[in-house]
Structure 1
Amino acid sequence: MSNCRYNTYWLPLLAKHSMSEIAEGPLVVPLDCEWIWHCHRLNPLRYKADCQEFYGRILDNKNVVSTIQGESTRQTEEIWKRLYPEEPFELDLSSISSDGDSVNIMTEGSKYDFVAAVRRQSPFFYQVSKLFMNDNLFLEEAAARYKGFLHMIKRNKERSIRRFCVPTYDIDLMWHTHQLHPVSYCKNLVVTLGKVLEHDDMDSDRAKGQKLDVGFSGTTMQWEDTFGTRYWRAGGMYRGVAPSPITDIPLLASIKSKALVSSTVSQSILQLSKTTVVEVLLEIVGVRNLPDGHNGSLSVFFSKKKPDAFFDERKRLSILSESKEKQVASFQCEPTGELFFELVCQMPSTLRISRPDKVMGTTSIALQNILDPVSKLSIEKWLELVPSSGPLDSKPICLRIAVSVTPPAPAPHVLHMVRSRPSLKSACFLPLPGSIQLGKSWTSLIDEAGNEIINIQTRNSKKAVGNNGKPKKEIIGIIGWSDEARILAEFSETGWSLKGSEWSSQLWKKSIEGGHIFELRGDRVVQLFPGRKLEYEPKNCQRQKNEQDFITAIEFSNEFPYGKAVALLNLKCGVLKVEEEWFALSAITLAIILSDILRKEGNSVSIANIENLKMVDSNEDAYDIEGKSGKATNLENKELAAKISVAVAEKGEAGDKIKNVASGGTMVKGGGCGGGCGGSCGNMVRSGGCGGCGGSGCGNMAKSSGCGSGCGGSGCGNMVKSGGCGGCGGGGCSGSCGNMVKSGGCGGGGCSGSCGNMVKSGGCGGGGCSGSCGNSAVSTN
């Protein structure tokens, strides 16, 4: 349908406009026609031939703007309506037949296969959609590299060398942009090459030995021989297969302008850390001035002098001049500190026992030097090594190191939900001072640095009463350690309504159409989909995870008409990844509502299980903000929650080895689940794991000994740098173990009752607890 509108309506209108501008301002192209026009121009020879055949000249894009640029379309719509009174300016999707057999209204026009062209070009947007692709410095370098690419093609033509030159994606972005200005492109290329350069996008097979692979290898060699620099560029390489698109999207007419005055609400309420990240590509090109008599194979280990949240490893690279094997390391890190390099001589295996590996010297590069505009986001040079021992040589060993980085981009906010546990009647300590006593329904949101962001509780309102006579349900939040409570959401007969954000006047709208389970409408539309979608879609190596544990929030706007993933909720692990700060408070509130409901229902996240969630209410006791119900827990729970940083699931996906157990959580360098967990185990980082939990499983563990030989009851709580449940099961924990932070944990005698929360404590001793152990803080109990 769109290609018919493009041929029959848009191109004739564009031809009239190019002859004598029929609008005082710029002409606005309908979005569906713009996409077909875009793909048509990316076959420059065909576009030129079609324009000359039907209009006698190349139709240019002069004084034409996109609908997504926010320009007023009123004048263009009036011209369109005058010329085509029977055809709406915006494509009416409801008029397209469901079987796809729409009537072909085209009388004449290009016979180019636009459908095939669109299919070829759609994945390209994914490859160039990172935020840094709009950075001026990155684009300036891409434009310079595009000129170098054309120079190589010119030299090949002059020398009669037949080579299929394959651009990196930063170069390809510039090439596409050039082609979208068809008159300039044709003139420029005729001057440069003597002909219009064809853009061959027919090949997509990246397998070894195929046309793309051979062409890219040849282009790389020619570039590096011609210019003496690396052809690869951080941010310009293949990102993998594009994720599956969202097939059913809201109509643009129902979406208001993206401009939001209220988008700063989350930023003013929540104190989220500002972290940036860069992508890095690294290659060790050569080594020189090696000492005489040198024996053994050489390699380079690289790390960061001060590890950060994204990169805290020590990795090895071969040296191109030594191994003749090209190795390029790719990783992410914070744009601060130094990259540290160690030249290592590895002795042959027969001599390794008597002569261990030797560090011959070290050097470093400050990331700030690469990010300096003078360096243009890349460095390739010889660096002198500081010898590890011995006298300084007159000719120090040097490494030729090539590093490229992307401009810094905001890192996603990763938050962890930590639910407080109820206090026990036999608690050993009195409540700590404080005006707020947390009930069992409180949940703390903590970032990866261990900072408490917000505490949230589901409660019954004292004042508001619904038509059925029952108290109205509310979600309230307390920011950090503040005493001020905010109402974040309310539940009524029509469902949940989010308050205090851009969705303040909008109700949840439950839908099964298009696969989304809820829809939020404000100045943007955000739909929630089960599973990982768009940018979060799992790669092949991640597909073993249960997709029903995830919910993806996708924004639709004029800027992103086909959707952009803005948050990923992992309700099983209690991990939220939020891409944009304006959606953080809404994402947290949605996660609390859904996890609370699903926890009580015991269901997975799926359309079938969520269909009736709108009318589900909680049976859990509600607590008032002052804790006057008499059932509030000690403040230790809140203090504990603020200290637990469960940096596991997302960190594990970033590079650590992940071991998945049938009902276990994410484990990073963890001992795993032992004899069997009747429930489920939480996230574990460098921990001993669960010995055998027969009940509800173990909580999150970080640098802990984990759960010993078995917890028969409700499992173990969160443990951080703790001994864990040492011997629960000799006597067994028939109840449960609470949260432990820097504690000795539960001893070998077993707990027939339950263990409370322990902070910097000796824990439960070897004699066992016949009843229950209470909360301990800085104690040796």
Structure 2
Amino acid sequence: MEKIVRVWEAVKEEDIEETKMLWERTFDQPYEKAGGGAIARPITNEPPFYWDVTNTDVNTRYKSMVPRFLFEVCVSVKLISNFGQMKTDLKREFLRLQMAKCHREVKMDKPVSQFTSESWQKAWHLYCEFGTKGLILELRHRDGRCFKGSSLRESISFAWNDLLRAPSLTLGKEIDERVRTTASITPPVQASYLLKCVPDRVTDDSGAMISDVILKMNQYRPQEGRWLSRTVLDHAGRECFVVRMRVGVGFWRRGAEAPTAVKWEDRIIEIREGSWSYVTSSSSIGRSPEKVVGTATPKEPPEGFQASWSFSTGHELLIQYDTSSSISGLRFDLQNKVSSEPMVKLLPGRQMQYQVKNSGLEANARKDDRNREETREEGSTKEHDFVTIIRYSEDNPTGKATALLNWKLLVVEVLPEEDAVLVLLICLSILRSVSEFKRVDLGSLLVRRRKREAKIGDRDWGSVILHPSSYSPSVSSPYLHPWYWNAKLVMASQVKDQAVAPPSSNYSQAEGGERLYKSGIIP
């Protein structure tokens, strides 16, 4: 049999099935493997996120940043003929997929009854970060009539390192001599950096946290200056940078002196590369790294703009805020005063590849027009918490989105070819400016304590993403989709302390008092 399909010619469903059966009879292997979905199902082949191969990574200059590597994973299942005849056991048997590391919380189940001994069927299709190490497949049996509990019959594992060394990046294994499984992957490619800013303690001019511990180490010499601080964590919870925002000068002495607010033009933002140097391994008190890799200084804006920031990278960010606009009113202009680089645009919302067309996570449609209108307004507000950075060049005359940021949550996704420090400066400057415009602490900048992070490894950020073909009502977790589909929920899941900012009485007087920080954030 011979059939030739020309370029751009539509492939009929019956031709695909015929080719699939011929392939399986000849090679006894699944026809559809990781990276080869375009042969079989071109419509559902698109991943739910932007995935591009690049040889450029400008962030290698920052030693504290560890690159992410993603690859596609496809798991197929076929029953051994003897097992397929055991109808009684078949109804209670199911397969469970779990990750070896990084996302131990995920459990995806498939009833064995949906597979056959006649042909291979794709069970799971997903994208994994290399740090997950591998996947675990379990054959389990449901116990009792309530079907809530289950017992393990047998389990197997596929390690990514083993698959990378395997022919065609494919391995096959049997479970309990009754179920055949095949796992295939694609070569890993570098993915976007994922960074978020989390609250931390106030620091002094030297970068040390305001604390009695530091005071004692300094022989009780008063700590001068007050800076709001944020720690920048990556997808695996590693500390990459420390962000500091200057709010006060002077020092505190009981009953005598207290820090005072700095001048408007001195409310600079600085980013230091590296992690905190903690006093002891079990302490949360420490000093920020010394190397400053980026600063943002407020400037008097030109006519037509309400805010202007000068970056140490040579860029100037101009922000326009129209209070009469019913949608957002925010407009941005990023200019480079040092070099004539290609045009860069900052567009409100999730643009280009970051658009969410049908995430499957949106609330069900409301039954009446009033509720539908409320839903649209909520979606509009959420959309304008995002800003997309688009760069234009000869290779991309129509523009390429190189970063997505949520300025209210202080979360960014950055392609390797985009400068992460520049994106963080943009994100922080927008939040500071909009908070001043609206006179509201929109990004919880007044929080001055580190929140407890979720346990590393339970559901690490971006470690597992489902392919659209694997969506199902039983697997509806937002943590298995791109973070920007439901940013607020995903970011809230990363911390254990879900409460709002602690009362001002919980902060020490030595930090300077609530009025000092409010005057610096919402004057």
TM-superposed CA distance for 1:217, in Å, is 3.7
Alpha-carbon distance in structure 2 between the residues aligned to 1:585 and 1:371? 33
What residue in structure 1 maps to residue 416 of structure 2?
A: 580
What residue in structure 2 maps to residue 156 of structure 1?
A: 2
TM-superposed CA distance for 1:363, in Å, is 2.0
What residue in structure 1 maps to residue 242 of structure 2?
A: 455
Q: Are the equivalent residues in 2 in contact too, given 1:459–1:473 (CA < 8 A)?
A: yes
Alpha-carbon distance in structure 1 between the residues aligned to 2:225 and 2:411? 21
1:539 aligns to 2:321 (yes or no): no
Q: 1:559 to 1:646 in 2, by over 3 A?
A: farther
Map of 1:757-772 to 2, 5 A cutoff?
none
Q: 2:297 aligns with which of 474, 478, 490?
A: 490
Q: 2:436 aligns with which of 589, 594, 600?
A: 600
What residue in structure 2 maps to residue 692 of structure 1?
A: none
Letter in 2 for 1:562: T
Q: Which has the larger radius of gyration?
A: 1
Q: 1:557 to 1:598 in 2, by over 3 A?
A: same
Q: 1:307 aligns with which of 101, 114, 121?
A: 101
Q: 1:368 to 1:412 in 2, by over 3 A?
A: same
Q: 2:76 aligns with which of 283, 288, 298?
A: 283
Q: Are the equivalent residues in 2 in contact too, given 1:343–1:360 (CA < 8 A)?
A: yes
What residue in structure 1 maps to residue 167 of structure 2?
A: 375
Map of 1:404-443 to 2, 5 A cutoff?
404-420=184-200, 430=212, 432-433=214-215, 439=226, 441-443=228-230
What residue in structure 2 maps to residue 571 of structure 1?
A: 407
TM-superposed CA distance for 1:531, in Å, is 0.9
What residue in structure 2 maps to residue 249 of structure 1?
A: none
Letter in 2 for 1:499: S
1:684 aligns to 2:489 (yes or no): no
Q: 1:666 to 1:490 in 2, by over 3 A?
A: closer
Letter in 2 for 1:496: W
Provide the secondary structure at the position in 1 that maps to 2:167: coil
1:555 aligns to 2:391 (yes or no): yes
TM-superposed CA distance for 1:550, in Å, is 0.7
Map of 1:244-283 to 2, 5 A cutoff?
264=58, 266-269=59-62, 271-283=64-76
CA distances 1:578-628 after superposition (whole Å, capped 9, x unpaired): 221641111111111111111222399xxxxxxxxxxxxxxx9xxxxxxxx
Q: 1:212 to 1:579 in 2, by over 3 A?
A: farther
Q: 1:497 to 1:224 in 2, by over 3 A?
A: farther
CA distances 1:199-252 after superposition (whole Å, capped 9, x unpaired): 344x5xxxxxxx754444444334333443222232343456799x9xxxxxxx
Provide the secondary structure at the position in 2 that maps to 1:199: coil
Alpha-carbon distance in structure 1 between the residues aligned to 2:488 and 2:463? 7
What residue in structure 2 maps to residue 529 of structure 1?
A: 347
What residue in structure 1 maps to residue 285 of structure 2?
A: none
Alpha-carbon distance in structure 1 between the residues aligned to 2:22 and 2:85? 33
Q: 1:223 to 1:520 in 2, by over 3 A?
A: farther
Q: Are the equivalent residues in 1 in contact too, given 2:127–2:464 (CA < 8 A)?
A: no
Q: Are the equivalent residues in 1 in contact too, given 2:348–2:386 (CA < 8 A)?
A: yes
TM-superposed CA distance for 1:281, in Å, is 0.9
Give the superposed CA RMSD: 4.8
Alpha-carbon distance in structure 2 between the residues aligned to 1:411 and 1:756? 40
Q: 1:368 to 1:242 in 2, by over 3 A?
A: closer
Alpha-carbon distance in structure 2 between the residues aligned to 1:592 and 1:457? 10
Alpha-carbon distance in structure 1 between the residues aligned to 2:460 and 2:187? 26
Alpha-carbon distance in structure 1 between the residues aligned to 2:173 and 2:147? 33
Alpha-carbon distance in structure 2 between the residues aligned to 1:278 and 1:383? 24
Letter in 2 for 1:362: S
Provide the secondary structure at the position in 2 that maps to 1:540: coil
What residue in structure 2 maps to residue 444 of structure 1?
A: 231
What residue in structure 2 maps to residue 230 of structure 1?
A: 30
TM-superposed CA distance for 1:259, in Å, is 11
Letter in 2 for 1:527: K
Letter in 1 for 2:169: L
Provide the secondary structure at the position in 1 that maps to 2:422: helix
What residue in structure 2 maps to residue 335 of structure 1?
A: 130
Alpha-carbon distance in structure 2 between the residues aligned to 1:650 and 1:451? 12
CA distances 1:320-357 after superposition (whole Å, capped 9, x unpaired): 2269894431122233633222222347xxx6369974
Bigger strand fraction: 2
Letter in 1 for 2:231: S
Q: Are the equivalent residues in 1 in contact too, given 2:227–2:248 (CA < 8 A)?
A: no
Q: Are the equivalent residues in 1 in contact too, given 2:403–2:423 (CA < 8 A)?
A: yes
Letter in 2 for 1:441: L
Q: Are the equivalent residues in 1 in contact too, given 2:78–2:120 (CA < 8 A)?
A: no
Provide the secondary structure at the position in 2 that maps to 1:538: coil
CA distances 1:359-407 after superposition (whole Å, capped 9, x unpaired): 33222222212112x422223x34354xxxxxxxxxxx24321212111
TM-superposed CA distance for 1:267, in Å, is 3.0
1:344 aligns to 2:136 (yes or no): no
Alpha-carbon distance in structure 2 between the residues aligned to 1:649 and 1:294? 39
Percent pairwise identity: 19
Alpha-carbon distance in structure 2 between the residues aligned to 1:406 and 1:492? 49
What residue in structure 1 maps to residue 506 of structure 2?
A: 755
Alpha-carbon distance in structure 2 between the residues aligned to 1:573 and 1:329? 32
Q: 1:418 to 1:551 in 2, by over 3 A?
A: same
What residue in structure 1 maps to residue 255 of structure 2?
A: none
Alpha-carbon distance in structure 1 between the residues aligned to 2:386 and 2:506? 32
Letter in 2 for 1:363: I
TM-superposed CA distance for 1:313, in Å, is 1.4
Higher relative contact order (CA 8 A, sep 6+): 2
TM-superposed CA distance for 1:520, in Å, is 4.7
Q: 1:455 to 1:325 in 2, by over 3 A?
A: same
CA distances 1:457-485 after superposition (whole Å, capped 9, x unpaired): 344999xxxxxx98466432222332344
Letter in 2 for 1:415: L
Q: 1:485 to 1:334 in 2, by over 3 A?
A: closer
Letter in 2 for 1:489: A
Q: 1:649 to 1:288 in 2, by over 3 A?
A: closer
Alpha-carbon distance in structure 2 between the residues aligned to 1:551 and 1:455? 22
Q: Are the equivalent residues in 2 in contact too, given 1:450–1:643 (CA < 8 A)?
A: no
TM-superposed CA distance for 1:654, in Å, is 4.7
What residue in structure 2 maps to residue 199 of structure 1?
A: 7
Q: 1:524 to 1:401 in 2, by over 3 A?
A: farther
Letter in 2 for 1:229: Q
What residue in structure 2 maps to residue 120 of structure 1?
A: none
Provide the secondary structure at the position in 1 that maps to 2:158: strand
Give ranges in structure 2 of 5+ residues lacking alignment.
Answer: 204-209, 250-262, 275-287, 303-307, 322-329, 364-378, 467-475, 480-485, 509-513, 515-523
What residue in structure 1 maps to residue 258 of structure 2?
A: none
Q: Are the equivalent residues in 2 in contact too, given 1:525–1:555 (CA < 8 A)?
A: yes
Alpha-carbon distance in structure 2 between the residues aligned to 1:333 and 1:242? 12
TM-score by length of 1: 0.44
Map of 1:312-323 to 2, 5 A cutoff?
312-319=105-112, 320-321=115-116
Provide the secondary structure at the position in 2 that maps to 1:295: helix
Alpha-carbon distance in structure 1 between the residues aligned to 2:70 and 2:55? 26
Map of 1:634-649 to 2, 5 A cutoff?
641=450, 644=453
Q: Are the equivalent residues in 2 in contact too, given 1:652–1:658 (CA < 8 A)?
A: no
Q: 1:487 to 1:278 in 2, by over 3 A?
A: closer
Alpha-carbon distance in structure 1 between the residues aligned to 2:438 and 2:362? 23
Q: 1:221 to 1:539 in 2, by over 3 A?
A: farther
Q: 1:439 to 1:323 in 2, by over 3 A?
A: farther
